[in-house]
Structure 1
């Protein structure tokens, strides 16, 4: 009986081991202190640049890597494609440029937190989420991803609505705007939150991912999606996406 009990305890999930990479020693110390205060998180190593982060990752095999974008020597963006092969990576930085956020996600980042947009509790929860494969983004990063999604939606719109001929006059522009009518959001009478969620659906995100990006529960996401489907008169994500992008 004792052996069985021991085996059961051994099978319990262990805490997450974290690597913190930032060139500012004060920030590294602060992050380490915050994360170490959580019972289920342990900082196993710190690094001052991308190269040191990669070497530490290979040595310590962390469960999650917190990575700054701009560091001397090998910066975070250069190290990111190599680090994601070792463990899930969450960018934790002051750099909130839209292009950087989109590039980080393209290179495999599982989350993007901008300093000043999260509490200590949100930070520890974000580490847990990314360690479990759930994306986590602060508002600025979320807006950057939405801008990318909306840009793709425009690129896939009907050809006659994508661009004006070079010789188009102001009158032609007015006619084009009339042809396009109201935006998808107003056309389908979606709220701001519903439009945001519909953009994320169109990008291919599942309910769990949408919940993480929007900082809401999966149940709330489902409720929003039910209302969206009702307003778009659709029953599937594919149908809703086609209507939303104007290709139905």
Structure 2
């Protein structure tokens, strides 16, 4: 007889252990990582293409957002009042209320970075006197440098492109007393004593703040450009031509097509009575023969 096979009874299913609700959470009380708050920016420029380009560039960063755009100084102030941004990017030449007129009111709300084509030494110095936290001239910075400058200005770290930095150096030199006065106040020992001879370097160099070439802040000291009757845009493009930029770079800097750049250049050459970029640049910078007397 075959032995009867016994099937073992199934084991009772074990229920999952329920954690003791009284057990404290080991991570309770530890600070949770804070969500980064985007840096809020207002962009003020009368050129809608420039505004759109800046907005697209800055808003593409995870830690920056453009909260408003403005076409003049009054609109910039109203936007700053409403949105309370962390930084304002401000153009100089705008219709209605220009950037310099709005600047003293804007700096009471947020740090202001000048972002403009205006590179005149006097304008740079006036903007800084009125409280600007930095000064960037179009065509002298990369997209990455702009983003870094915006972040730094929020923290109180100033940024300047080469032209603006040159204007600061020129201002500092003008504010210094003449070199012969410095030498008198800090007289070296005579030649009989130890130390440099009585005739110091200050006697061999021109006074601080004076330039034998007559240039101030990278440009001739007295160039009357109003006689050329260039529009604001033409003047901006002529500045870029004089800096050595190609049509392609000018187009990228100004957010316009190369064809539009060529059209502007044709009008500029006609107004400056020039047939080449070098001739136009020489007249624009005041280095052409007879440029101080007329169109030549």
1:105 corresponds to 2:132: no
SS at 1:182's partner residue?
A: coil
Q: How does 1:33-182 map to 2 (within 5 A)?
A: 33-154=56-177, 158=181, 180-182=203-205
Report the CA distance shift for 1:179/1:107 in structure 2 as closer, same or farther (over 3 A).
Answer: closer
Distance 1:38 1:88 in 2: 19
Higher helix share: 1
SS at 2:148's partner residue?
A: helix
Distance 2:56 2:202 in 1: 57
Residues 170-189 of structure 1 deviation map (CA, whole Å, 9 limit, x = unaligned): xxxxxxx997223699xxxx
Distance 1:9 1:117 in 2: 38
May I ask how many residue pairs the two structures share in their alignment? 169
Distance 1:4 1:142 in 2: 49
Distance 1:36 1:125 in 2: 14
**Residue matched to 1:199:** none
Residues 22-59 of structure 1 deviation map (CA, whole Å, 9 limit, x = unaligned): 00000000000110111111000000000000000010
Measured after TM superposition, the shift of residue 116 of structure 1 is 0.2
Q: How does 1:205-220 map to 2 (within 5 A)?
A: none
Which structure has the bigger radius of gyration? Answer: 2
**TM-score with structure 1 setting the length:** 0.62
Measured after TM superposition, the shift of residue 60 of structure 1 is 0.2
Distance 1:55 1:101 in 2: 24
Report the CA distance shift for 1:151/1:184 in structure 2 as closer, same or farther (over 3 A).
Answer: closer
**Residue matched to 1:23:** 46
Report the CA distance shift for 1:157/1:150 in structure 2 as closer, same or farther (over 3 A).
Answer: farther
Higher relative contact order (CA 8 A, sep 6+): 1
Measured after TM superposition, the shift of residue 134 of structure 1 is 0.3
Distance 2:66 2:113 in 1: 14
Residues 141-163 of structure 1 deviation map (CA, whole Å, 9 limit, x = unaligned): 000001001111135861898xx
**TM-score with structure 2 setting the length:** 0.52
**Residue matched to 2:231:** none
**Residue matched to 2:280:** none
**Residue matched to 2:277:** none
Measured after TM superposition, the shift of residue 62 of structure 1 is 0.3
1:9 corresponds to 2:22: no
Query: Any stretches of 5+ residues in structure 1 without a counterpart?
Result: 162-176, 186-248
What CA RMSD, in Å, does the superposition of the two structures yield over aligned residues?
2.7
SS at 1:154's partner residue?
A: coil
Distance 2:174 2:85 in 1: 35
